[in-house]
Amino acid sequence: MLNYPNGHHAADPQTRKNSASRRGMELEKEINLTNEYYLQADQAVIYKKPTPITIVKVDYPARNKAKISEAYFKIPSTTDYNGIYRGKYIDFEAKECQSKTSFPIKSIHAHQIEHLERVVRHGAIAFVIVRFVLYDETYLVDALTMTDYIHTCGRSSIPYKWFQEHGTLIPYSYVKPVDYLQIVDRNYAKELAE
Amino acid sequence: MLNYPNGHHAADPQTRKNSASRRGMELEKEINLTNEYYLQADQAVIYKKPTPITIVKVDYPARNKAKISEAYFKIPSTTDYNGIYRGKYIDFEAKECQSKTSFPIKSIHAHQIEHLERVVRHGAIAFVIVRFVLYDETYLVDALTMTDYIHTCGRSSIPYKWFQEHGTLIPYSYVKPVDYLQIVDRNYAKELAE
């Protein structure tokens, strides 16, 4: 059995919902932990990209020590996560949603939608991971299924119900808090076999 | 014919070496321009990852305006560039070399070497782009060819001559200053056909 790199063992998956250890740990951190698990298990090589910033000023308070003293956040031109799994290029964006009823489309940048469509055209497996925080439910939705809906729905948000119908719930476990590759195996079996 | 996104036209490729317009433009910028060309031409989707930093302090000098006022550079755990080309995951690192005789191995981090070996194991096309600035020559070297040499050479640098023997010179053109995909097509024909 594989242990988490920190040496922790898997907790009982039954303790999933709202367990104390989980409180306050957001989607990004959980995906990073999951990716680290995949890396240690040599299952996949998938990383979050660093936050894009524009550096304006760098100070050198000591030799060999550079301190960035002025920088600004940039709008990302791509999604946050990419890498390789079973020989395939994987690309996805992850978003938390605080609403109980719908996911605001504006939380995904136009460039990110374009980027997802582009990588799919080039043969990627691409998707969006959306967590409805108040339900503690995390869905994987195929990128094109979601971008097609965005282009045609004429709405500013996607109903929660839509994710129940078109997404797949991602199971939680202590060692793999967002085990999305399990869903990828199932939902992209055809692409992975190519 | 495709134009560069800025509207510039291709210059005569003969004007390559030390042309005035090229002076002072470093490898990273040239690769970014090339990637942008590939993107506009819908040939490949390859990006440089943002520089990884640790953000310590963020100020809000105005509403909706976040200013990072303290941050530090982090050692990257992966290479700088990745993406998708002809359905394949592409991963590479790019380095300039100021020496005439050899490339210092320490300019590639140990994590980056591990990362390159890992992605190849998972089916990636991976390589290193090395520019010998004083010769104005840019080589593409297969990742494993280079990491195998690093592990076995017992030296702290790789001779320039080694790149001439084991690398492939990347041609320059105004619209595609570092047209590495041309070399990928040739050197990885087998992998691309899979």
pLDDT confidence of residue A64 = 78
Q: What integer best gives the mean pLDDT of chain B?
A: 89
Distance between A87 CA and the closest CA of chain B, angstroms: 4
pLDDT for the residue numbered A135: 96
Q: Could you report the per-residue pLDDT of B116-127, keeping only the tens digit for each?
A: 999 999 999 999
Interface contact flag, B47 A86, Cβ < 8 Å:
no
Q: How far is A171 from chain B (nearest CA, A)?
A: 24
CB of B89 within 8 Å of a chain A CB? The answer is yes
pLDDT digits (tens, 9 = 90+) for B59-68: 998 877 899 9
* Residue range B170-193: mean pLDDT, rounded: 96
**CB contact, 8 Å: A52 with chain B?**
yes
What would the CATH number be for the domain defined by B19-193?
3.40.1350.10
What average pLDDT score do residues B121-139 get? 97
Angle, helices A180-187/A27-40, rounded to nearest 10 degrees: 70
* Interchain CB contact of B86 with A (< 8 Å): yes
Average pLDDT, chain A: 89
The packing angle between helices A143-152 and A110-121, to 10°, is: 130
Q: Fold for A18-193, please state it.
A: Trna Endonuclease; Chain: A, domain 1 (3.40.1350)
| pLDDT given at position B61 | 86
Select the more confidently predicted residue: A7 or A56: A56
Considering only A119-128, B5-14, B117-126, B163-172, which range has the smallest mean pLDDT? Answer: B5-14
Interface ipTM: 0.86
DSSP state of B50: P
Query: Residue B25 — very low, low, confident or very high, per pLDDT cuts 50/70/90?
Result: low
Rounded to the nearest angstrom, the minimum Cα separation between B169 and chain A is 26
Nearest CA in chain A to B66: A72
For residue B103, pLDDT beyond 50 = yes
Phi first, then psi, for residue A19 (nearest 5°) are -65, 150
Q: What is the pTM of this model?
A: 0.87
Say if the Cβ atoms of B122 and A86 lie within 8 Å: yes
Split at pLDDT 50, 70, 90, the class of A10 is: very low
- H or E element at residue A132: strand A125-132
Q: Does position B146 have pLDDT exceeding 70, yes or no?
A: yes
Closest partner CB to B47 (pick from A44, A66, A78): A78
For chain B, the domains span 19-193
